[in-house]
Structures are given as C-alpha cells and as structure tokens.
Amino acid sequence: MNVLATRIGKLELESPLLTASGTFGHDPAALSFLQPGDLGALVLKTVTPEAREGNPNPRMCEWPGGVMNSIGLENKGLAYWREHVAPQLAVCPVPVVANAGGHDLEEYGVMTAAFDAMQGVAAIELNLSCPNVKGGTQFSTDPDALMEVVELCRKQTAKPLWVKLSPNVAAIAPLAQAAEAAGADGLVVCNTVLGLLVDWRTRKPRLGNGFGGMSGPAVRPVALRMVWDCFRASKLPIIASGGASSADDVLDFIVAGATAVQVGTASFRRPDAISRMATELRAILAENDFTLDSLRGSLEWPTPVSCAGAASRTS
C-alpha cells in the first residue's frame, strides 16, 4: 500500500508533495532529481496570454529567512507554450498542473479555456496572487472580485480548478469562502509574502523592482496560520505552500488542515528535496502508525478560537 497516496478532489496523486509554481523544470533532466512515486504533481510556472519580459534585474536574492523574488511573471506566452511545452506534458510521469495568469478577467478566461483543451494538463491553478506585477493581487484581496474571476474560469473547464490565494490580506477566510462559492476545487495557500530588502550601502532595494515576495522558512508560520484559517472557513481541499523543507514541516501543514504541500524554495537549495522529504515522510508514518488522513486537520486549538475572520468548519 502506498502510504503517501493522496486525493485532491477528483485528482488522485501518488504523493502529497507537489512542486510550487515556477520552482522546478518539467523536462526529464529536472525530473531525474526525484525518485518515482515521490512527487505527486508538477505545478508549472505561470503562463499569460501574451509573452512577458518580467521585472528588472536583480530578481532574486537570499536572506537568512529564505529567498526574496520579483520575477514579474516572465514567460513566453500562450502561443509558445501551446506549441513547445504542451506536447511534452502528455508524456510527463506525474500529473501536470498548469498555472494561469492574466491582466484581467478575460485573460484568465482565455488561459483557463486554453489549458482545458490541452491533454497533458491534469488541473489548473489560477495565480490570483502574484505580488510582483501591477494588478497581480487585484483578484485575491477582494472576495467579490475573486468570485467573479473564479466563476468565469469555472465555466471554461471541468478540470480541477485551484485558486492560489495571497497571504497579503488581513483575513484570508472570506477569500477562501468566495473561491468555494464560485466553484473552485482547491485552495493553494499561499503565494509569497510581500517584503522589502535594502542595501544601506547603495541606499537601494536589493531587488530591481523594489518590493518582492518572500518564500522559504520565514514564511512557514504565516502559511500555517492561513492554512488553518482556510481549513476552518471552507470545505475545499487545501494545498499548502510556504517554506516546507522537511517531513515535519509537511506534517505540520497536514495537521493544520492541508491535503497536499507544495515545495519551492527548498528545491532551489536541493533539487532532490522532495524525494528526501518523501522518504522521511514514509519513515515517520510507518514508525508512528499514522495515516495522512488521520492527521489531517487534527490540530487541537486552545479554546476559545479567536483568529480574526475565520468561520468554523461545520464537519
């Protein structure tokens, strides 16, 4: 029996460990870092209808808490993707999740319909939360706007539709509920945390675009809080994303309510991180006779619950 087998809605996965969007390649060379059965799904970098050049350099820098990026959704656009990337996906050994971006409602609809038509795409993640582009969070900070875009995209596809939420909000629960009401199949919780690193010597930000999105260990407590808030607010499966680099981190997210966990920054440091985590995870589950299902959402919260914006889960 595969103790890591996981289901996100109707999508069956061999493992709860996924790549985080934009942090891993999709070609055989990239996948050769991982052992079969360790990766549940490959989540690819955001694609937009038109090509984008991205933000000025430098676009990434490290700090003791992790990484800060401001890539700016650089990508070659839908036409290139359809011709050059999509054909390779049909032979990918794991389910592929395509990630859609856009400037406005119409562009999200176009991307969703395009991915829906691609045989190699198993699920669609809507990137409604990039902090590095103008308007990148317009749909993930206002529940009405989020509902509108998810409803529109829902009409374009019967494939699993995941919504990647932003941590850069005061309360995430109303956004999780809006996504659920609009027909989403899963919540990705969450994108990077907006931040700023400066170099006092040059008097300049360390990133070419000024602000950037923080990822890595320092954002884990933020992501955990948001996973727990979403778990109590919505019945949708939650795909946690935020600084996981060990099996213990993964199990923390599962106990807080996650069904799966995306790994990003840890793979930059070690491209085999997901396989190391999967091996560790199997050993911990076997040693303790736990299952992922029995641990999910089992966090025992000191009463009374007092997090702002979180409604209670009814079952």
Q: Which residues bind ligand SIN (CB under 6 A)?
A: 22, 46, 69-73, 127, 130-132, 191-192, 213
d(CA 263, CA 278): 11
> Which CB, 167 or 257, lies closer to ligand SIN?
167
> Which CB, 72 or 143, lies closer to ligand SIN?
72
For residue 209 the two structure tokens come to: 């675009």
Residue 222 identity (one-letter amino acid):
V
Q: Strand, coil or helix: what is 106?
A: helix
Give the total residue count for the chain. 315
Other C-beta atoms closer than 10 Å to the C-beta of 50 total 12
> Which CB, 131 or 217, lies closer to ligand SIN?
131
Residue 243 gets the label, from left (phi > 0), alpha (psi -120 to 50) or beta, of left
Closest by CA position to 224, among listed 247, 246, 250, 186: 250
> Which CB, 72 or 160, lies closer to ligand SIN?
72
For residue 119 the two structure tokens come to: 């045989």
Given the residues 61, 92, 130, 307, select the one marked as catalytic: 130
For residue 178 the two structure tokens come to: 């809006």
Report the nearest approach of ligand SIN to the CB of residue 199 (Å).
20
For 201, residues 6+ apart whose C-beta sits below 8 A from its C-beta are: none
Residue 110 identity (one-letter amino acid):
V
* DSSP codes, 75-105: B-HHHHIIIIIHHHHTT-SS-EEEEE--SSH
> Which CB, 130 or 161, lies closer to ligand SIN?
130
For residue 177 the two structure tokens come to: 């509920």
Catalytic-residue membership of 130: yes
Report the nearest approach of ligand SIN to the CB of residue 22 (Å).
5
Report the nearest approach of ligand SIN to the CB of residue 88 (Å).
21
Q: E strand or H helix at 152, and its extent? A: helix 143-154
> Which CB, 69 or 267, lies closer to ligand SIN?
69
Report the nearest approach of ligand SIN to the CB of residue 143 (Å).
20
Report the nearest approach of ligand SIN to the CB of residue 253 (Å).
19
- Estimate to the nearest angstrom the gap between the alpha carbon of 142 and the chain centroid: 19
Report the nearest approach of ligand SIN to the CB of residue 209 (Å).
9
d(CA 246, CA 297): 19
For 24, residues 6+ apart whose C-beta sits below 8 A from its C-beta are: 30, 42, 267, 271
Active-site residue list = 130
